[in-house]
Amino acid sequence: MDIHGKDGDEEMTAEIVPINYRQIETGSAPLEVERAAAFLGRSEDLREIKDVRDKTEAIGRYMRAHNAAIVSQQSAAMIVLVAERRLGELCKATEFSKGAAAKRGTAQVPRLDEFGISKNQSSRWQKVAAVKQRKLDAYFDECRDHHRVPTRAGLMKWGQEPREQAERSFSYNAELGRLETLLETWIARCPDERRKEVAAMLRKAAKEMGQ
């Protein structure tokens, strides 16, 4: 399948040299994600990054419509999320004019829409940017392991449901009872040479709870 072929009258051709979009459809797709992440992480050009995001998203739609290999769809979706994360970082760090283009001293303050970015997009992408890198990497790994295509909504929900379930099922009295039983077991079974270590750990926990 050629993801750079024509879909109707639209030609799916990537013009940006640093990202090799053609590799997304091959066995080198995961490597292209790493290459794209490195390129996007260095770029501070909102237009350039958004161009990468928009073109990769269009390629991803094309591949889904033509049942491309899951690894190719995953790689396209990952590049989109990496680009959105970088866009969110830059949108948060950049001062934009809320009305007409303005000047601050001798510098021109641009409007957000000059970059083809809406307020809603900026808000969504800043939420993606707030996701820590290790969580993003773990989410991508899980998607690869379970043959799923990552999405923005999936990323934002990932890792939250088990915590919410734990909070709903938490019972203070029941957990306190378990803790008391556990401590009694420790005291009864702890060997003499480990008692100081256990006591130090409990003092540390008590100190932290008292802060």
Q: What are phi and psi of 183, to 5 degrees?
A: -65, -40
Q: What are phi and psi of 186, to 5 degrees?
A: -60, -50
- Residue-by-residue DSSP string for 68-102: --HHHHHHHHHHHHHHHHHHHHHHHHS--BSSS-E
Q: Which position has the higher pLDDT, 72 or 210?
A: 72
Tokens 């090799």 -> residue: 20
pLDDT at 140 over 90: yes
Q: What is the pLDDT of residue 111?
A: 85
Q: Which of 97-106, 108-117, 180-189 has the lowest mean pLDDT?
A: 97-106
Kindly state the average pLDDT of the residues 114-132. Answer: 93
Kindly state the average pLDDT of the residues 111-131. Answer: 92
Q: What are phi and psi of 7, to 5 degrees?
A: -115, 95
Which two structure tokens, joined as six digits, stand for 200? 């130090």
